[in-house]
Structure 1
Amino acid sequence: MTGTDSDDSQVFRNRSDFEFKDHKVSLGAVQIKRENEKPHAIKLQIYRRKEQSYDTEVGGAKPKKRQLQPSVCMKVLSYLKDQLQTVCNIYEGSGYKLRVVCDACNPKEHHLVDLEKCLKNDVVPCGTDTSMNTAHIKRYFSKGVVGASSSYPDLSEDEFKQLITEFAQWYDERGLLNRLKVLFKEMLGDFEALNRVTSTFDLLALLTDSGLLSRQKMSVLYDTIQITKQNGFEDMVKNKLPFFQSFKTQTTLSFSPHTINLFNLGKSLSDLDMKTLDGRFNFPVLKKYDDRWSLILDLESRGLLSEDKLESVEKDVLKR
């Protein structure tokens, strides 16, 4: 099982390709060489198609690389597990294991590591003297983490809803919704749905529907509190909701480096910076954005603040 941001898929026999949103999923039979055995195996690869965006510097369309959406990866994994379990139920004595390609050793060796071990551990051993960091696996398939509930208080469904209510009210009262939209845009991947969001409640509902937030999986709340510097929320909610003790620090950050860079850019924009960017990318029909976060959302959704352009915008347009 592999994931990549490229659309350069490898061709192998007996392969079936299908589309899921703007992702392509390839599934096919492969042979694994092992001493004294030839196990049946299938190879799953997930790609996200590149997006053609207009490059205002060069003057033409240019493909923009985009990261895989965790919600898509988790849905594909869930579907695969369901289908494999169906097969195992039909054929007595059959079973399956999910493995990922190790990126810590020589790629020619095609060493595989157990997916569940990757999701339960920060590092997994590879060979005798090498270990693979599993942060990138958890980012895309974190819904499958085994035992994740032990990282958080054992909340009932009603208690979880109370916590979500306090979280939403806290952020809405402080007018932080557009900041949250910037943080969750890449993770959710659906800009149209995000654009319809008018409250933090709506946003949290999208996260829940995408499998990114649940009673057993609240790291995204903790990471949001940390990056937005709203640590007072945790102190408030501990006093208001006796059943809640604390969020536990996670080793895997929910947000990608690009999202964090966009968020930091938003925090640093001055009124003059906003006018400069509005003029640079929207002249002569200026948009006169309500706030810096609306500007970031708009420009990023148009491919003007993509990973490969963000640095040049800061350097050449904002003169930093």
Structure 2
Amino acid sequence: MTDLKKDVPLKWMRFRCDLHDLRKDDLRRQKPFLLYPLKEIKTLAAKNGIAEKEQSVLLNFLYDIGEIIYMPDKELLKDQVVLIPDSLVKVLTRFVTVVPPKPVTFRKAYRQLDKGILEEVLLRNFCEECKVDVPNLKKFEFLVELMIQLGFICEMKTTSSQDVASTSTGSITKRSFFVPLRLALKTSSEVKQEPDDSQSISIYYDFEGYLPDVLFPYVIVECLNKFQLEGFEPKLSCNHCKLYLDQFHHVTLSLVQFTTKDKQNFLLKMTVKRTNSLKKTNDEKCEPSSEACQKVLSTVEKTFKQSKDGGRRGIPFKRCIPCDCSLTSEKKHFQILPNFQYKMLPCNEGDKFLNMNVERYKLLFGDEVGQRKRRKTGQGSSDENQNESTSSSHQSQPREDFSEDDFRQLIADFAQWFDERELLNRLQVLFIEIVDDIEEVKRVTSTIELLSLLFANGQLSQTNLSVLYDTVKVTEQFGFESTITEKLPAFKDIKKREVVSFPAHTMKIVNLGKNLKDSTIKALDGRHNFPVLKKYADSWSLILDFVPRGLLSEDKIDEVNKLLKK
């Protein structure tokens, strides 16, 4: 606590001292895995004058600084608190980092552990060696669930019903768990850097030059939990994972190394491939389905974006693909894919102005707002959707005599209009999910800097002005159209235009920003920042702080809306 820059309430310190006393008393009684009911912990907090609403904030704070383990959003873990996280570390080191001797009793189980598979019998033995109360079934299941949530293990799915084994502690189920951190430390021969064929499509993830060691095992665990088919054992190694998504597709995740701009860079490669049949028929499809591609993309990127789940913080990433200009070169040029709404992306390598065709990514991974609405309501045929999309694209095009100088003047006028009306923070919120680097969006001090980021990300160009049209409509700055309708006829009908540049979730966030009142802003500040309040100037400042922290994610924005209604 002495290293904190801000003061904390004295009653919090008293409560922390009481927790230390609990630890000391139980350690004297040789109870290394200190698991306490949440009710008892809250009762102790109440004795120190901490109100019920403040207790959850305090427990989350102690979890953040590593004093306890507290996961209120997990059903099996929400009613218990771990007072000594180090006790969990002792169990983990037995099968993650330490190479123990292999006694005859568990020789078969140790062979499986060398392959990255942990048998339940062996896990119970490790717990007994660490003096964890194994006969207590609830405590053991809590420990298993905790390790699953932290990404250390993942339960294997089997086609047969779980067998039962007899031990000195009674009858137990014979479960098995994947342990990604114990995977073979040899490079898989299946890790390839070949271009995609007609049956596969790949996306690469760049983590700004830094790929955390824990990330790949965690992604493997999440994918195994989501996609693992019963009876089909995945192929795993320290840098490669291949598993079945469904009966028609399989997913491959691998760590690959590329030379980019005179430096070596590690990327995570995600590939979705349609599985070959042993006997191929003429009517068999080759292309992966868009549903499969979007399902994998959503799962993998949700793993990156989790701001706080099981003690992990969100990891910034860029979605990219190798550019066609460097397919045969050792040094790769990667195109950034901020979203999947465009058929072409400009190539910035060399002196010539060239484009890369990314229509296949748009078809397999993209899901525009209008198309999503029509699928939910069942309205419109595919031909009608295509015609509407073509019409919208045509309306977004400037006149043929719209020159590069006209484009620059438009950008200058647009920036001046929004700066004069002090709408920069609203634009930052609007663009925060379509620009790759959220921190860059937060750092800009003028609209022109923000538009420069859009241009660099391929969202804005002389021939693609959709994001400008949609921005004017969403922000309701219809007075801007009067100055440019001669060169840009699309601005005449901008009120009738369908917004396609921004995801549906972004629109929810913008609507939230319009409706947040001062009292709600103060309530949210207290709920998520107490005791060090940030005192937001307006709703847009709050949103810019909440989005990178994951507090306005798909599953949490509804909670804010409920608070708004109250």
Report the AA paired with residue 537 of structure 2: D
Structure-2 residue corresponding to 1:227: 474
Report the AA paired with residue 50 of structure 1: F
Matches within 5 A, 1:1-320: 1=201, 8=223, 11=243, 17-18=255-256, 24-27=268-271, 35=281, 47-48=300-301, 49-54=303-308, 61=311, 75-76=320-321, 79-82=322-325, 115=360, 118=363, 131=382, 151-153=396-398, 154=400, 155-238=402-485, 242-247=486-491, 253-315=500-562, 317-320=563-566
Q: In structure 2, what is the Cα distance between the partners aligned to 1:185 and 1:133?
A: 31
Q: In structure 1, what is the Cα distance between the partners aligned to 2:324 and 2:410?
A: 31
Change (3 A) 1:23 1:180: farther
- 1:290 is paired with a residue whose SS is coil
Structure 1 unaligned residues grouped into runs of 5+: 88-99, 101-113, 124-129, 139-144
Q: 1:278, 1:286 within 8 Å by CA — same for their partners in 2? A: yes
Q: In structure 2, what is the Cα distance between the partners aligned to 1:148 and 1:177?
A: 27
Work out which structure has the larger RCO, using CA pairs closer than 8 Å and 6 or more positions apart in sequence.
Answer: 1
Change (3 A) 1:38 1:208: same
Post-superposition shift, 1:53?
Answer: 2.6
Deviations 1:45-91 (A, max 9, x none): 86424334336xxxx54788x9x99xx55x41xx254456x59xxxx
Post-superposition shift, 1:251?
Answer: 5.1
Q: Identity of paired residues, percent?
A: 40
- 2:307 is paired with a residue whose SS is strand
Report the AA paired with residue 53 of structure 1: S
Deviations 1:6-62 (A, max 9, x none): 96275469975448999843358866566569999999986424334336xxxx547
Change (3 A) 1:41 1:265: closer
Post-superposition shift, 1:256?
Answer: 0.9
Over aligned residue pairs, what C-alpha RMSD do you find?
Answer: 4.6
Deviations 1:131-165 (A, max 9, x none): 49989xx9xxxxxx9x9677411321111000001
Q: In structure 1, what is the Cα distance between the partners aligned to 2:454 and 2:511?
A: 22
Post-superposition shift, 1:236?
Answer: 2.8
TM-score, with structure 2 as normaliser: 0.39
- 1:187 is paired with a residue whose SS is coil
Report the AA paired with residue 115 of structure 1: R
Report the AA paired with residue 291 of structure 1: D
- 1:318 is paired with a residue whose SS is helix
TM-score, with structure 1 as normaliser: 0.65
Q: In structure 2, what is the Cα distance between the partners aligned to 1:281 and 1:159?
A: 46
- 1:164 is paired with a residue whose SS is helix
Q: 1:182, 1:297 within 8 Å by CA — same for their partners in 2? A: yes
Q: 1:17, 1:26 within 8 Å by CA — same for their partners in 2? A: no
Post-superposition shift, 1:175?
Answer: 0.7
Report the AA paired with residue 311 of structure 1: D
Q: In structure 2, what is the Cα distance between the partners aligned to 1:134 and 1:23?
A: 36
Q: 2:435, 2:457 within 8 Å by CA — same for their partners in 1? A: yes
Report the AA paired with residue 479 of structure 2: G
Q: In structure 2, what is the Cα distance between the partners aligned to 1:28 and 1:277?
A: 40
Post-superposition shift, 1:314?
Answer: 2.2
Q: 1:266, 1:293 within 8 Å by CA — same for their partners in 2? A: yes
- 1:53 is paired with a residue whose SS is coil
Change (3 A) 1:296 1:13: closer
Question: Computing the radius of gyration over CA atoms, which structure comes out larger, 1 or 2?
Answer: 2
